[in-house]
Amino acid sequence: MFTAENQSRKLIYMYTDPIADYLTRVRNAVRANHRVVEIPASNLKKAITKILFDQGYILSYKFDDSSVQGSIKIALKYDENKQSVIRKIERVSKPGLRKYVSSSEMPRILNSLGVAIISTSKGVMTGKQARRENVGGEVICSVY
């Protein structure tokens, strides 16, 4: 039922970015010095988690597929001074502004001390792997 009050209201559309949510959950857990963070799963999030583990940014992970969507449990990694190994993790390509790069324009994060995670036609990989395989793609995030 439409009334004058309902017609004058503007429709507000909420758009959620699941990758930004993933990165924010990890960032918040690191700042709060949590040992484990649980995140709703997707195939892209699983691929990002595997890369973070392979690059040494997280201690371990577990994919729990008991529910419909499933979840990812990530054990965060800290050094001997109780400082997180992840200093900064940020979204590069956003839903409103996608960032695509060719293999020759692959970003170097912190003079190659950090990692750029790229979504390519050959799957999700680091910037170094994408440069080695000569493929470009969307820059999902950067970690150092």
Domains of the chain, each with CATH number or no CATH: 18-143 (3.30.1490.10)
Q: Token pair 């909420």 is at which residue?
A: 14
pLDDT at residue 117 above 50?
A: yes
Q: Token pair 């956003």 is at which residue?
A: 94
Q: pTM of this prediction?
A: 0.87
- Encode pLDDT of 123-140 as tens digits: 999 999 999 999 999 999
For residue 123, CA distances in Å to 16, 110, 117, 119 come to 23, 24, 11, 6
- Structure confidence at residue 9 (pLDDT): 54
- Structure confidence at residue 13 (pLDDT): 57
Largest Cα–Cα distance of the chain, in whole Å?
63
| Mean pLDDT for the stretch of residues 33-42 | 97
Q: Token digits for 104? A: 């020759």
Whether the Cβ atoms of residue 88 and residue 143 lie closer than 8 Å to each other: yes
Q: Which helix (H) or strand (E) holds 47?
A: helix 43-54
- Encode pLDDT of 42-99 as tens digits: 999 999 999 999 999 999 999 999 888 999 999 999 999 999 999 999 999 999 999 9
